[in-house]
Amino acid sequence: MSGAETISWTPVRKAPSPLARLFDSKPFLIAICLLPAFGLLAVFLTYPLGLGIYLSFTDTKLGRPGVWVGLENFQYLLEDRVFLNAVWFTVFYTAVATVLKFALGLWLALLLNENLPIKSLIRAVILLPWITPTVLSAIAFWWIYDPQFSIVSYVLVDKLHILSSYIDFLGTPWHARWSLIVANVWRGIPFVAISLLAGLQTISPSLYEAAMLDGASSWQRFRKVTVPLLMPILAVVLTFSVLFTFADFQLVYAITRGGPINSTHLMATLAFQRGIPGAALGEGAAIAVSMIPFLILATLFSYFAIGQRKWQQGGSDE
């Protein structure tokens, strides 16, 4: 860094005040600049993360400090069918929803990458499901899934005559599970599509021309040009998508609240139900903490399996 030397070289410079000098000293400036962000993150992110892990080993209740109970919470949870079911459903929900989101999102991104009229308007409209509050669109889905007045059932039964009776979307476990997955995919497609579209637009058309000259079919062009060049961005989007689907809370809380008969609880909703209204903070924290290994695993997987490490770290690495 040559900045400081350059200044001392300037001949007609009046001596700066001590305060100004203090603000020009790099270590001080770095500390001051990082202080607000790190202060907030330390108090409201790092500390709670540690506290959560500690709480999961205690029997704390809301408003009452608990005592250390070791692994008791986890032992109890391992025999709790509701919890085991929630773990299974969270994994299933994440896997199915992610696959569908990426298949449909990639398809939509490819469609948007064509020369279309009013392209920017279409792109703007497509992002709507993603920017509106999730709970509110979940309420709209709840109404669409109404057992008596579902518009989907109405179309299928009364208009198209495909089915003979109305679908009970949220009444039976499997119907409810698939209904939630559909709502999650609906909400997730725009994010995937728009991010992948950004990736597609960075691929130079000359590569496609070269492939075409060599006689590559459109499938081959997709497989050998588009997919490899899209991989880095795909890995990042996949990481985010998996993490946030796994930790999803709002959709399930708004549409089913875990029912019918606890069949659609995600780990996050179960942790909330036990921890806040149920006031068993320790047990809720234990459920939340059991999500951490899955989250780390998912991050590592998409990071190492698909991600190109060097490219991904470009942001901090230069």
Q: Are 255 and 170 in contact, with CB atoms under 8 Å apart?
A: yes
Strand partners, 58: 68
Among 70, 202, 215, 219, binds other proteins (CB under 8 A): 202
Site membership for other proteins, residue 136 (CB under 8 A): yes
Binding map of other proteins across residues 212-241, x = CB under 8 A, - = no contact: ---------------------x--xx-xx-
Residue 68 or 149 having the CB closest to other proteins:
149
Residue 172 or 313 having the CB closest to other proteins:
313
Residue 173 or 208 having the CB closest to other proteins:
208
Cα angle 241, 246, 247 (rounded to 5 degrees) comes to 105
Site membership for other proteins, residue 163 (CB under 8 A): no
Residue 92 or 149 having the CB closest to other proteins:
149
Site membership for other proteins, residue 60 (CB under 8 A): yes
Site membership for other proteins, residue 29 (CB under 8 A): yes
CB of 278 to other proteins, least distance (A): 11
227/43 Cα distance (integer angstroms): 42
Site membership for other proteins, residue 49 (CB under 8 A): yes
Q: Is 53 exposed, middle or buried (0-12, 13-18, 19+ CB in 10 A)?
A: middle
Site membership for other proteins, residue 204 (CB under 8 A): yes
- Exposure pattern of 169-181 as b/e (b: 16+ CB <10 Å)? bbeebebbbebbb
CB of 84 to other proteins, least distance (A): 19
Q: What is the CA radius of gyration of the chain?
A: 26
Which candidate, 151, 182, 177, places its Cα nearest to that of 166? Answer: 151
